[in-house]
Amino acid sequence: MDEIPELTNEFISNLSKRNANEPEFLQAVFEVTEDILPFIEQNPEFKKYKILECMAEPERAILFRVPWINDKGEIEINRGYRIQMNSAIGPYKGGLRFHPSVNISILKFLAFEQVLKNSLTSLPMGGAKGGSDFDPKGKSDTEIMKFCQSFMTELSNHIGPNTDVPAGDIGVGGREIGYMFGQYRRLKREFTGVLTGKGMEFGGSLIRPEATGYGLVYFVEEMLQQKGDSLAGKKIVVSGSGNVAQYAIEKCIEHGATVLTASDSDGYIYDPAGIDKEKLAFIFELKNERRGRIKEYADRYGCEYVEGKKPWNIDCDVALPCATQNELDEEGALELVSNGCLIVGEGANMPSTPGAITVFQQNKVLYAPGKAANAGGVAVSGLEMSQNSMRYSWTKKEVDTKLKEIMKNIHKTCVKYGRQSDGFIDYKKGANIGGFVKVANAMLAQGLV
Ligand code: NDP
Ligand code: 2IT
């Protein structure tokens, strides 16, 4: 840390002061800063125009009240947000998260990551994130619909197909996107591609539900191929059991790997025989239809269930954290390393803590950060926008081929900017510089706006 350029210290201290109550946001920005600072030092224009300082300030942050009435007839008040972080390379784009933990810090970190991620996809999308502290758990379909309608009634004033195009994230899937799309269409009296992740009957893209999980596995396969290896026969540990985890597991099985674990916020299941197609179908039904707990998997298949713990102590070749931020800490990272884990591919956004990342780097574990490895979701969202604009739809095969190509190119970008003198690929550095360059150049070209 002794050769940090002067700019870093000043930048870090100012940013920390201005955002003192936003630990996740600071974590995300610092993690990027350490990689791009030397790059900025070599490019005086970026320094002169304070590009990094600009990027760390949202273009706009919207906060609003979301009142709705629950099934008991009681009034509930939630808080809604949309952080429009950067639109230098395209309309704002990024998911909506409904989870009780949602606050400004979490959404700013997600929006900041989204800017670089969207740039890496090579599609013309700026970055945003939004959501609410609404907790969808245990709510009826009617309550979900009422909440989504109230949320969209205000959000509709701030988004549009050429302005800002939200999608799903934690707690927001096809059902919620459908209700929000319906309300937007009613309010605006127009049918446009204002949201992505829509149902197939009303403008959704094939492969969008699968895209984040599939893209993650395509990326990890590229990492292995770079080493002359492949996923076939590998032992995989997955956290989460939501959208990203489900399709990551599906694609791992297709590649001949054995997935040993899945989890939710209560605990994890460990199935030494591996989650096969039939067991995965049970997870889909459990989580997407009955909205039950992962423990039921262990009850049904007679395997181990570990309450209140993460699966990082399980022996594996590849770890795919697919639940949430900071779910993999230094202790978990040390366990993975001591069990011989070769690769960590982040399906979630910022699941590894800074301490965990240091452990991976010190032990030469190949570590793919979320902004590269989980970019397949937003990439297919970008393809959904293109199809909506053309009033046309591509086949499953066409979208999947484009997704594979995009993940391959992101991998190439990471290798280009992340290759070290000893040949080791620092995917974090590669992704951070690769994502930054295009946005920074676009900002320079457009002047101080
Ligand atoms: P889902 O809501 O479908 O699933 C989330 C999963 O993570 C559930 O298993 C959930 O368990 C678990 N989880 C959520 N919060 C916590 C928590 N605080 N502690 C422990 N477990 C938790 O969301 P997604 O699968 O869509 O999203 C998962 C991750 O992937 C997020 O980090 C998201 O930002 C990221 N991501 C998502 C994309 C997408 O297209 N959907 C694209 C790129 C990244 P439980 O049910 O108990 O809450
Ligand atoms: O974190 C993410 O990239 C997402 N939640 C998907 C965003 C999108 O616009 O598809």
What phi, psi does 399 have (nearest 5°)?
-65, -45
Nearest CA to ligand 1 atom 42: 377
DSSP 169: B
Residue range(s) in the chain whose domain bears CATH number 1.10.285.10:
1-57+429-449
Nearest CA to ligand 2 atom 4: 95
Nearest CA to ligand 1 atom 27: 170
Q: What is the mean pLDDT of the chain?
A: 97
Of 144, 200, 199, 207, nearest in space to 171 by CA: 144
CATH of span 60-191: 3.40.50.10860
The number of the ligand 1 atom at minimal distance from the alpha carbon of 351 is: 32
Q: Which ligand is nearest the CA of 112, by number?
A: 2
Model pLDDT for residues 347-389, shown as the tens digit of each residue? 999 999 999 999 999 999 999 999 999 999 999 999 999 999 9
262 - beta bridge partners?
A: 269
User: Span 232-250, mean pLDDT?
Assistant: 98
Catalytic choice (93, 108, 117, 129): 129
Residues 236, 77: Cα–Cα separation, whole Å: 41
Q: What is the pLDDT of residue 6?
A: 62
Q: Is 73 exposed, middle or buried (0-12, 13-18, 19+ CB in 10 A)?
A: exposed
Indicate whether 2 pLDDT > 60: no
H-assigned helices in 156-207: 174-188
| CB 169 less than 6 A from any atom of ligand 2 | yes
Indicate whether 82 pLDDT > 90: yes
The number of the ligand 1 atom at minimal distance from the alpha carbon of 197 is: 40
Distance 168 CA to ligand 2 centre (A): 6
Nearest CA to ligand 1 atom 31: 348
Q: Determine which helix (DSSP H) or strand (DSSP E) holds 111, and give its type and residue range.
A: helix 104-120
| CB 167 less than 6 A from any atom of ligand 2 | yes
Place 116 in a pLDDT band, splitting at 50, 70 and 90.
very high
Place 10 in a pLDDT band, splitting at 50, 70 and 90.
confident
C-alpha torsion angle, residues 298, 303, 305, 311 (rounded to 10): -120
Residue range(s) in the chain whose domain bears CATH number 3.40.50.10860:
60-191
For residue 260, the SS3 value is coil
Q: Which ligand is nearest the CA of 248, by number?
A: 1
Is 129 annotated as catalytic? yes
Q: What is the pLDDT of residue 8?
A: 76
Q: What is the pLDDT of residue 1?
A: 41
CATH 1.10.285.10 matches 1-57+429-449: yes
* Substitution candidate for ligand 2 out of 120, 212, 247 with most atoms within 8 A of CB: 212
Distance 84 CA to ligand 2 centre (A): 14
Indicate whether 53 pLDDT > 80: yes
Q: What is the pLDDT of residue 81?
A: 99
Q: Which ligand is nearest the CA of 114, by number?
A: 2
Distance 244 CA to ligand 1 centre (A): 7
User: Span 34-62, mean pLDDT?
Assistant: 94
Predicted TM-score of the model (pTM)? 0.98
Residue range(s) in the chain whose domain bears CATH number 3.40.50.720:
211-373
The number of the ligand 1 atom at minimal distance from the alpha carbon of 241 is: 9
Model pLDDT for residues 382-415, shown as the tens digit of each residue? 999 999 999 999 999 999 999 999 999 999 999 9
Tell the CATH superfamily of the 211-373 domain: NAD(P)-binding Rossmann-like Domain (3.40.50.720)
